[in-house]
C-alpha cells in the first residue's frame, strides 16, 4: 500500500491543523494562575506600593484597577474602608467586574460582597482572594 499523493497545499493544511491542535491542547492543560497566586504576586510588590487614588472609588462601590498587569478590584464599602481583591473568579477563572453594590462574574453568575469578597450567590466555591491595603492620605496603598 502506498501513501496517497498530497499536493503541497494539502500537506501544509494538514501540518497547520496538527500544529493548531497541539497549541489548543497545550492551552487546555497549562496551569492557570489561581486567585491566591495572583493575590500573593500583587502583595509581594511591597508595603506602600500605590494602588489608586482614594477618590477613584466611590463609597459603596468598586472599581477595576491594574497593578503591573494584574487586574484587581478596589472596593470602598465605607468612607474610610477599602479592600483590594484579585479579579480572578475562584469558580472558573473568569474576570469578575464591579456591579451595583457588589462584584459580579459574567461567566457563570457568581456574585461577591464589596466588604470581604464573600460569595453572595452562584457556583463560586470560595470568596475572592484579598490583598491587604490601607489608606494613606489620599491614596490606597498595599499594606504590610
Give dist(CA 122, CA 138) in Å, integer.
35
For the chain, which domains are there?
35-142 (2.102.10.10)
Does position 137 have pLDDT exceeding 90, yes or no? yes
Give dist(CA 59, CA 111) in Å, integer.
19
Predicted confidence band of residue 4 (pLDDT cuts 50, 70, 90): low
Contacts of 86 (CB under 8 A, 6+ apart): 35, 36, 38, 39, 42, 70, 71, 72, 73, 128, 129, 131
**Whole-prediction pTM:** 0.77
3-state secondary structure of 45: coil
Does position 97 have pLDDT exceeding 90, yes or no? yes
* Residue appearing with cell numbers 464599602: 77
Amino acid at each position: 500500500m502506498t501513501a496517497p499523493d498530497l499536493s503541497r497545499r494539502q500537506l501544509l493544511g494538514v501540518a497547520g491543523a496538527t500544529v493548531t491542535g497541539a497549541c489548543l491542547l497545550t492551552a487546555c492543560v497549562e496551569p492557570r494562575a489561581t486567585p491566591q497566586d495572583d493575590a500573593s504576586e500583587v502583595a509581594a510588590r511591597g508595603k506602600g506600593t500605590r494602588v489608586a487614588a482614594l477618590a477613584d472609588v466611590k463609597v459603596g462601590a468598586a472599581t477595576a484597577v491594574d497593578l503591573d498587569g494584574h487586574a484587581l478590584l478596589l472596593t470602598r464599602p465605607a468612607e474610610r474602608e477599602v479592600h483590594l481583591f484579585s479579579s480572578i473568579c475562584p469558580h472558573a477563572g473568569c474576570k469578575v467586574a464591579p456591579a451595583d453594590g457588589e462584584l459580579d462574574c459574567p461567566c457563570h453568575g457568581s456574585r461577591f460582597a464589596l466588604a470581604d469578597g464573600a460569595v453572595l450567590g452562584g457556583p463560586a466555591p470560595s470568596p475572592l482572594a484579598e490583598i491587604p491595603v490601607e489608606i494613606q492620605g489620599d491614596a490606597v496603598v498595599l499594606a504590610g
